[in-house]
Structure 1
């Protein structure tokens, strides 16, 4: 019994730091509506700065002074980031904000390695809390008991701050209706800046308080951010009490899951998140979200099929790409095959986002399922490569059909979070079901047959399938189904009023996108000769989002250019510099701030100025009606 009590207390100690970070993210999202992927980076910076201050300036500041000073320093950094970067994109769609903060995360990951080195750093023990307390023969670190007390204290301070101060009242009002707060004469810029500073301070404080418990390393941001998103979604976006309750729930599930359900311990928190989103989409303590701003893909200008000249240009580009084996070596053809595969992956997500208006944070699940489908059929069943390529992606199709049925019941950020939850469940199963998937050892020896084994042969195969997938998706965009799907995207109520079953349309689009992603995953398994759980991970899903937004989400085929540029730049940077994340992150931020329409969207805007045609409609509503009627 004493062992379980100690395990419970350990969970509560972990919940304190998790609550600090999650409450900061919840506050920031509640007011600014920024999906701040860089919140984990501020947590990591808090730990690194606290390590430096407590080691080198311990005489002047002391340990606790160093902890608080580190949080303040990182908060100042957060204010600079908010004023220089985020103020420029507050009115942009949420996914562009996600992309900018993801680029910022990449930059911070390389910056901390540049400043503090790649090795793990071990912080000193907290003064006065170096020992342990005996609980019926079991030792509990006294620092853990301090954290257990600190959590409710911080919760009380935040409650007083938001309930008993004028600033707190304005923040709560902005959470409910920002436009009304602005109409009352409140300076939104400085309100947003102060909220961001408080949120970053809490994240940095959570990281600083971890140095006596864990090693400080440059991967701790991504390890934490997914768990923080889970806590915020379960508790309710914008709810401090919800963040506290959810942090305790998640931490205790982590503490006891490994003991009670060792086979599914990693899945538990994501199962809870999925159930909460399905039953109560706005979280345990949250409130239904107000109508969201127009999301990317909701363009009022009707898309048009390619002109004859554009088709000739696309064909020439395809022929030029097919000529690569005649001028390039094996390395270039391998890189070309990988780029073609990721064109398929990005195009599938782009179809879901641009035509369906559905932004998935877990699209890698179907890419990875397609890859595992190939591994099961080719490695275990011994089926021929052609048969495996036809049947393997069906595993991605099946996953998309099951998960999509629940996901399309939601919208906006809740839809995105549910896709993330399902993707993490699939990743957890692949990671822990060692008997079937090999766990983190993966499934090896998945090689193509002799006719496709050569670099040139496999490149031509990948290029042909990529071109076919892109063409099919374009045909769907301009089919009656595509027009009906775009009608549900532009106005759900209006589309249902004219007899369109919106949920069925969105579910069908979800299945199509998942199947195409599975095709990309199937080719990826043959390209690498193996499959690992990383192919299902959140980092790959974020890569797909970056490709789509980089190319231009409000275009029909922007993902093709986005995938080519992103993968080529990524591969080239890794081979040319040790600071590839820093350069790539800076490039992503530059694209978001300077070219928010993406590469293709920007080019189309420039070309539209020179293209003769009828004047644009004065009424966005009239344009939308024309598009739906077509």
Structure 2
């Protein structure tokens, strides 16, 4: 019994740091409506800078001074980021904001390695908290007890700040109605900046306070940000009390999960998150908002079928791509095959995002399920390659069918977070179910048969599958089903009034996208000859999102351009520099700020401007009508 009590206290200590980071993100989202993926990066910077200050300047400012100064320095950096970057995208779609902050995270990861090196750093113990207290024969570090007291203390300070100060009143008012606050003459820019500074300060303080407990390393950001997203979604976006309660809940689940439910400990918090979103989509302490008419910002212009010259151009490009084996070596063919596979993957997500208005943050789940489906059939069942390719993606279809049923009940950021939760559940199962999936060792030896074994043959198979997938999705876009899906995206109430079952239509689109992603995963397994849990990870889902936005979410075929450019760039960067994340992150930020319509979107806009006959035609039609 004493052991479980001490485990409970350990969970409370972990909850303190988690609450600091989660409350900062919740405050930022409540006012600015930005889901800040870079919040984990600020947490990591707080830890690194605190390590430097406490090691190099402890004589001048002391340990606790180093902790506070580190949080203040990172808060100042946060203000700079808000003024230079975020002010430009406050009115951009939530998806674009998330990607911009993700790009910033990639940049910070390489910068900390460049400044502090790749090795883990061990911080010194906190003065005055070196020992332990005996609880029923079990030792509890005094620093853990300090953190247990600190959590409620910070909660009380935040409550006083938001309830008893004029600034807090303005922040709460901005959370409810930003337009009204602006109408009262409040300078929104500086209000947003101050809120962002407070949120970043809390994140950095949470990171700085971790140096006596954990090693400082360059993967801290992604490790903490997933838990933070879980906390704010369970507690309710914008709720400080919800963040505190959810932080305690998540930390205790992590502390006891390995003891009580060892086989599902990794997925336990995501199961709870999924359950909360399904039962109470706005979180335990969040407030229900009116449903958005469409996914914010995904306003897609009316599409038109390809003109004859455009069809000829697409066919010519396909013929040129098919001729690559005549001039390229084996490496070029392998890269070409991978690009073709990711064209399929990105096109499947683009179909769901643009036509359906459903921005998924966990689309890699169905890519990975398709890959595992092929591996199971080829390695364990010994089925021929062609049969495995046909049946393997059905595992992606099954996953999309189950997860999509629950996901389409939500919208906006809650839909995105539920898809992320399901993806993490699938990843956790693949990582932990070693007897079936091989765990982190993966499944090896998934090689193509002789008819597709040569690089040229597999390349032709990949681009043929990519062409069929893109054409099939495009045909679906202009089919009656596609028009019904777009009607549901643009005006659910009007669609329902004319007899369209919006949820069924969206679920069908989700299943179609998941199945096509499964096809890409099946080909990927044969290309690499193996499959690992990384194929289900968050980073792969974000890669697909970047491809879609780079190509242009407002075009039907622009995703092909986005997938080719992004994949070629990422492969080239990895081979050319050790700072590939820094360059790639900067590229993602540049996309969001400079090219919000993507490459194909910009080209289409330029093309439309060069068509002088369009206004004349419209005028003649008006004259005729009159």
* In 2: Cα distance, 1:375 partner to 1:593 partner: 41
Q: Unpaired segments of 5 or more residues in structure 1?
A: 619-630
* In 1: Cα distance, 2:103 partner to 2:403 partner: 29
Q: Which residue pairs with 1:593 in the alignment? A: 593
Contact 2:162 2:172 in 1 (8 A): yes
User: Is the partner of 1:410 in helix, strand or coil?
Assistant: coil
Q: Which residue pairs with 1:478 in the alignment? A: 478
Q: Which residue pairs with 2:175 in the alignment? A: 175
Runs of 4+ in structure 1 over 6 Å off: none
* 1:268-287 deviations in Å (ceiling 9; x for gaps): 10000000000000000000
Q: CA deviation at 1:301?
A: 3.0
User: Is the partner of 2:122 in helix, strand or coil?
Assistant: coil
* 1:389-428 deviations in Å (ceiling 9; x for gaps): 0000000000000110000000000100110111111111
* 1:589-610 deviations in Å (ceiling 9; x for gaps): 1111111111111111111110
Q: Which residue pairs with 2:346 in the alignment? A: 346
CA pair 252-556 structure 1, distance change in 2 beyond 3 A: same
User: Is the partner of 2:139 in helix, strand or coil?
Assistant: strand
* 1:489 lines up with 2:482 in the alignment: no
CA pair 292-190 structure 1, distance change in 2 beyond 3 A: farther
Q: CA deviation at 1:134?
A: 1.0
* In 2: Cα distance, 1:613 partner to 1:292 partner: 37
* In 2: Cα distance, 1:289 partner to 1:251 partner: 28
Contact 2:337 2:462 in 1 (8 A): yes
Contact 1:235 1:284 in 2 (8 A): yes
* In 2: Cα distance, 1:230 partner to 1:298 partner: 25
Q: Which residue pairs with 1:234 in the alignment? A: 234
* Correspondence list, 1:420-459, <5 A: 420-459=420-459
Q: CA deviation at 1:294?
A: 5.9
Q: CA deviation at 1:551?
A: 1.0
Q: Which residue pairs with 1:512 in the alignment? A: 512
The Cα RMSD (Å) is 1.3
Contact 2:293 2:489 in 1 (8 A): no
CA pair 300-525 structure 1, distance change in 2 beyond 3 A: closer
Q: Which residue pairs with 1:128 in the alignment? A: 128
User: Is the partner of 1:128 in helix, strand or coil?
Assistant: coil
* Correspondence list, 1:129-278, <5 A: 129-278=129-278
User: Is the partner of 2:133 in helix, strand or coil?
Assistant: strand
User: Is the partner of 1:3 in helix, strand or coil?
Assistant: helix
Contact 1:93 1:294 in 2 (8 A): no
* Correspondence list, 1:613-624, <5 A: 613-615=613-615
Contact 2:294 2:490 in 1 (8 A): no
* In 2: Cα distance, 1:616 partner to 1:364 partner: 47
User: Is the partner of 2:248 in helix, strand or coil?
Assistant: helix
Q: Which residue pairs with 1:622 in the alignment? A: none
User: Is the partner of 2:63 in helix, strand or coil?
Assistant: helix
Contact 1:236 1:285 in 2 (8 A): yes
* In 2: Cα distance, 1:439 partner to 1:271 partner: 20
Contact 1:297 1:355 in 2 (8 A): no
Q: CA deviation at 1:249?
A: 0.2
CA pair 500-272 structure 1, distance change in 2 beyond 3 A: same
Q: CA deviation at 1:106?
A: 0.6
Q: Which residue pairs with 1:560 in the alignment? A: 560
Q: CA deviation at 1:216?
A: 0.5
Q: CA deviation at 1:366?
A: 0.3
Contact 2:294 2:491 in 1 (8 A): no
Q: Give the TM-score taking structure 1 as reference length.
A: 0.97
Contact 1:44 1:220 in 2 (8 A): yes
* In 2: Cα distance, 1:113 partner to 1:139 partner: 35
* 1:372 lines up with 2:376 in the alignment: no
Contact 1:298 1:489 in 2 (8 A): no
Q: Which residue pairs with 1:324 in the alignment? A: 324
Q: CA deviation at 1:289?
A: 2.5
Q: Which residue pairs with 1:464 in the alignment? A: 464
Q: Which residue pairs with 1:89 in the alignment? A: 89
Q: Which residue pairs with 1:604 in the alignment? A: 604
Q: Unpaired segments of 5 or more residues in structure 2?
A: 619-626
User: Is the partner of 1:185 in helix, strand or coil?
Assistant: coil
Contact 2:293 2:490 in 1 (8 A): no
* In 2: Cα distance, 1:613 partner to 1:279 partner: 54
Contact 1:29 1:36 in 2 (8 A): yes
* 1:22-66 deviations in Å (ceiling 9; x for gaps): 000111111111111111000000000000110111111100000
Contact 1:258 1:265 in 2 (8 A): yes
